[in-house]
Structure 1
Amino acid sequence: MWYIMQSIQSKYSLSERLIRTIAAIRSFPRDNVEDLIGRGADVNCLHGTLKPLHCACMVADADCVELLLQKGAEVNALDGYKRTALHYAAEKDETCVEILLEYGADPNAPDGNEDTPLHWAAFKNNAECARALLAGGALVNALDYNRDTPLSWAAMKGNLESVSVLLDFGAEARVLNLKGQSPVARLLALLARGLGTEREDSCLELLHKAAGQLEVGRGSGLPREVARD
């Protein structure tokens, strides 16, 4: 049995075992992150599309995130998708977000689609992560490749908590994307498909107050905004 385990382990470098351990792939139950780093595992080595720090944020392991940063992980490094670790943390865990920001993470770093961490926090409705990002300098009206703001991403999902936080920080509810859609139009499209609940209705009320009067165009079933007088 010992020989078999040694044979399996010999197929992977220490750096490969590091990211497997972080991802909780239990091929090596005796491995631990600090020990692997101490034995020479590279904390900045890219494996497939991921780096160790990105992986730790994906599994929301705040202790591991801080350890990797203490051991020299590059806080603003990009993975294979041109995303920083903060993009993953923004979806998952407020503590990870705060640690990354403390170590100098760029709250406005764009990924390959020009999405910022705040876009992803809004889309996943992680309002506490959104709040931490905004407190750390994230631009509330940042634009992605389609010129959608984080508020638009939150609105298209009817994410009440994120919409509320973004509006509290001054998000603009009347910004139009490249298709001429505003955040309120995105939410109205959701409601027009019959997918709304009381939460989405409350979300619409918040956006209504921020953007002015709204109505849904009759006949076509498409949302239409009425400009505020």
Structure 2
Amino acid sequence: MDLTVRAGERVAVVGASGAGKSTLLAVANGSVVPTAGRVQVLGTDPAGLTGAALRRLRARVGTVHQHLELVGPLRVVHNVNAGRLGRWSAGRAAWSLVRPQGVEEVVAALDRVGLADRVYDRTERLSGGQQQRVALARVLVQRPELVLADEPASALDPALADTALELLGELAADTGGALVVCLHDPALALRHCDRVVGLRAGRVVLDAPATELTLSALEAFYGVTR
């Protein structure tokens, strides 16, 4: 697949289950090595990096995983602070588990997602939608140059889904980077992204400005019927 995402773009990746959306993001953040072809992320090939160099790249790439990748028994503050581990020394990261660091910034991020009052709650006690918002707050404190999000609004009601996409778009704009977000909701893709890329069986079969697409056309691509 040939795909280039430039700084400043907000790209929605759409397609049916199994089309390759999650795999695309995993290749972009260096957690999956491609079996063929060549990948450049922020000017670097993740497959050629190991150890500290790979950690530095991942610190520049923020990912909201579909399965969130939160540690349930830990308090919310620790899961949000995980977004900063790539910039912290091992000693500071360990000390933060005892005495949380940067709490003011964590609270500010949680406030943006409506969870400022849950900073010291155990994460596993939150609802699925609340945990999804914790994952969003984690990326907000990370402030990455590239934001990758895999179905970041799947457990949210429509109003919170719009808020989540707005926050991710603002974050990418603030850092001068790009947003690549996998979505199953065609309307969200058209409202919050300026470009839509459609995958089918791991191949790009659609790549167009959002302004040139209609909701009915995207629904047809998904196979949505009314």
Q: Is the strand fraction higher in 1 or 2? A: 2
> What TM-score do you get using the length of structure 2 for normalisation?
0.30
TM-score, structure 1 normalization: 0.29
